[in-house]
Amino acid sequence: MDGSSRGSPSHVGIGGVGWDSSSIVQFIFFVYQGLHTNNLMEALAILYVVERGSQLGWRRIICESDSQVVVNLKNKKTFRDVSWHLALIVKQVLNLCASLDSISFTHIPRE
């Protein structure tokens, strides 16, 4: 999954692919989100994936993102120096994570 923007804040969108353990694509999404910040969109993309995976009955999820900031927020569960809106989305993700058997967040460099 990924969030994208032409600045921050700017016009933004989210998109991604969810595939199962057999490498079969289960869903694809891409959504324009209006005017927001890039980190907010990265977190929103992760929320979308975790929600959709949960709806499909997935109990173990691996999230890969090129946003080190958002991955750190989810792994360390610290909300210092972030907007309330970003913290709210991260908390929603963490609440969903509690219902799963396992979930991991991995930083994947953009290169």
pLDDT digits (tens, 9 = 90+) for 93-108: 889 999 999 988 888 8
Q: CATH code for 2-107?
A: 3.30.420.10
Per-residue pLDDT band for 75 (boundaries 50, 70, 90) equals: low
pLDDT on residue 56: 93
Query: CA 72 → CA 21, 91, 105, distances in Å?
Result: 25, 13, 9
pLDDT on residue 78: 64
Max CA distance (Å), the chain: 39
**pLDDT tens digits, one per residue of 12-56:** 999 999 999 899 999 999 999 888 888 888 889 999 999 999 999
Sequence letter at residue 20: D
- What would the mean pLDDT of 72-95 be, rounded to a whole number? 79
Q: Could you state, in order of their start, the residue ranges of all structural domains in the chain?
A: 2-107
Q: How far is residue 48 CA from its own chain's centroid? A: 7
Q: Which tokens in the block code for residue 91?
A: 């908390």
Per-residue pLDDT band for 72 (boundaries 50, 70, 90) equals: confident
Q: Which tokens in the block code for residue 97?
A: 């994570």
Q: Would the pLDDT of 67 be above 70?
A: yes
Contacts of 14 (CB under 8 A, 6+ apart): 1, 2, 3, 4, 29, 30, 31, 33, 41, 44, 45, 48
Give the global pTM.
0.85
Q: Would the pLDDT of 59 be above 90?
A: yes
